[in-house]
Structure 1
Amino acid sequence: MPKIFLGPAGIPLSSRGKGSVDGVKRVKELGLNAMEVEFVQGVKMSVSTAKELGEVSKEMGVRLSVHAPYYINLCSSEREKIDASKKRILDTAERAHAMGADAIAIHVGFYGDYTPEECYSMVRASMGEVIDQMREKGIDSVKLGVETMAKETAFGTIDEVIKISKELKGVIPYIDWAHTFARQGGKIDYGEILDRVVKELGLTHVNSHFESLKLRNGKYVDVHEPIERNSPPFEPLAKEILKRDLSISLICESPRLEEDALIMKKVLESLGYRL
């Protein structure tokens, strides 16, 4: 039987307090069991606050992951931007470690002036340096998750994230199912991807995002929509997860956050799974 961790990307919209500790408590009240802590606008949480958050999440039985800042580009043609990006990843990792989060979702970069192959080499080198710095600081429990991306200008095809995860210990795919669906022209084989990351990488836990995307001029674009849009549909993914004995985090990135996470929970329950 799989072990599923389901919850919102960030503090639930219905949370009475605005802090992450309040958010974790609300996640528990809602009957969910995961939350992604959002550092997308910058790492503004202190290490001591991260430790406090970790204690509360452990007490509540809520699994934490983290999203790194958006201002990261390891394929920049400017050295200072790459160095700043690496620092943002390391700062995120320090907080993730302090709160006991298992993984960080990272938008690693855009091809820009480089070919996908050149960008891959740059990302691999920088991620390797960050992992070395993490080890020096004793940060050994946090995985760097390279997120699959929707835009064709961005590093993050399913093949790229699996390849770099094979080559760098401490790096994993952070699968955004909708991004991958868009990148593949509105098609996705959930079972094939789950089997690949388990068989090729030996993962015991899969980190992922779920939401729907907007269809614009016949093409899916990276504008997040409620999951009722079915682009992609959730139920087929739920069925593929339930066929397998695996552990997975499903972080809802719909604009409705916990409301749609609860719809996802209902779908799982209709298929016989209880969180």
Structure 2
Amino acid sequence: MVKIYLGPAGVPLSSKKRNTIDGIRTVKELGLNAMEVEFVQGVKMKPESAEEAGKIAEELGVRLSVHAPYFVNLCSNEREKVEASKARIFDTADRAERMKADAIAIHIAFYGKLSPEECYQQVKSELGEVVDKARSQGIKNVKFGVETMAKDTAFGTLDEVVSISKEIKGVIPYIDWAHTFARQGGRIDYGEIIDRLKRELGLTHINSHFESLVFRNGKYVDEHLPIENDAPPFKPLAEELVKREDLSITLICESPELEKDALKMKKVLEELGYKFT
């Protein structure tokens, strides 16, 4: 049966202290088993703090992933911004490796003045350099997750993230189900995506985000809502997952409700027969 790791994007709102280690402990107390550490405003965690967080998470059985800073754009037309982006990705991977996180999520690029194909080639070159540097400096285990994006101006269609993952060893798609839903015009076939990731990339573990999005001016936009808004609906994904064999998945709840919605997701899965251990 599928193995599901479920938890919030960042320290739970109910955590008394607003730090990563207390967040991990709160996740465990809530009966959840995953947490994404948020470096979205910058990589400010010291290396030794990352190692300590990793030890606590391992002891408690909480699977960690990490979100890289938002200030990343490998297709910027300003060279210094590209180099700063690469440094942020590298630093994120370093801390993730130290805390034994399995993957990092990256908002990799905007097309800007480039065509999608030109941007793709630039991402391939620049990200490839970061991965090579990371591997040469002992960052051996963490996977570089290129996130699917909602905005038409951003690198991150499903096709793009699958393709780049084929070309650079150590790169994977980081599937944001709601972003993919938006990018596909408010449509999503969960089973088809899972099948594709297994068939084309041989993935046995999927890293992912889940939330709902705002509908405005005839389309879904990248503003997060609680999952009860069903944009996209969670239950069809849950139904798809519980019937799967030889698959594990991390579901990180990026709803504004964080652990409250993660626990709602847990309840849906349990009602379908899944048992969290």
Scaled by the length of structure 1, what TM-score is found?
A: 0.99
In 2, Cα distance between equivalents of 1:162 and 1:207: 13
Gaps of 5+ in 2: none
SS at match of 2:16: coil
- Structure 1 unpaired stretches of 5+: none
In the alignment, residue 220 of structure 1 is paired with which amino acid?
A: Y
Amino acid at match of 1:247: S
- 1:91 and 2:91 equivalent? yes
What amino acid sits opposite 2:74 in the alignment?
L
1:256 corresponds to: 257
The whole-number CA distance in structure 2 between the counterparts of 1:191 and 1:61 is: 28
4+ runs deviating over 6 angstroms: none
**One-letter amino acid of the counterpart of residue 11, structure 2:** I
Deviation of 1:26 (Å): 0.1
SS in 2 for 1:156: coil
Q: Is 1:182 aligned to 2:174, yes or no?
A: no
Is it true that 1:119 corresponds to 2:119 in the alignment?
yes
C-alpha distance in structure 2 between counterparts of 1:259 and 1:116, whole Å: 38
> What's the CA shift for 1:49?
0.0
Name the % identity.
70
Which residue of 2 is the match for residue 241 of structure 1?
241
SS at match of 1:12: coil
2:117 counterpart letter in structure 1:
E
Distance 1:37 1:59 in 2: 17
1:243 to partner: Cα distance: 1.8
Superposed displacement of residue 222, structure 1: 0.3
Hey, what's the Cα distance between the residues in 2 that align with 1:126 and 1:99? 25
The residue matched to 1:209 in structure 2 has which SS? strand
Distance in 2 (CA, whole Å) between partners of 1:90 and 1:5 is 25
Q: How many residues are matched? A: 275
| Aligned-partner residue type, residue 102 of structure 2 | D
Q: Which residue of 2 aligns with 1:270?
A: 271
In the alignment, what sits opposite 1:142? 142
Partner of residue 54, structure 1: 54
CA offset at residue 196 of structure 1?
A: 0.5
The amino acid of 1:54's aligned partner reads G
Alignment-derived partner of residue 42 in structure 1: 42
Deviations 1:21-69 (A, max 9, x none): 0000000000000000000000000000000000000001000000000
Offset at 1:264? 0.1
Cα deviation for residue 244 of structure 1 reads: 1.3
- The separation in 1 between residues aligned to 2:154 and 2:96, in whole angstroms, is 25
Deviation, structure 1 residue 106: 0.1
- 1:217 to partner: Cα distance: 1.7
| CA deviation string 1:236-272 (max 9, x = no partner) | 0011111212100000000000000000000000100
The Cα of 1:107 is off from its aligned counterpart by 0.1
Match of residue 220 from structure 1: 220
Give the alignment's Cα RMSD to 1 decimal. 0.5
Q: Secondary structure at the match of 1:268?
A: helix
Give the Cα–Cα distance (whole angstroms) in 1 for the partners of residues 77 and 116 of structure 2. 14
- Cα deviation digits, residues 102-140 of structure 1 (max 9, x gap): 000000010001000000000000110001111111111
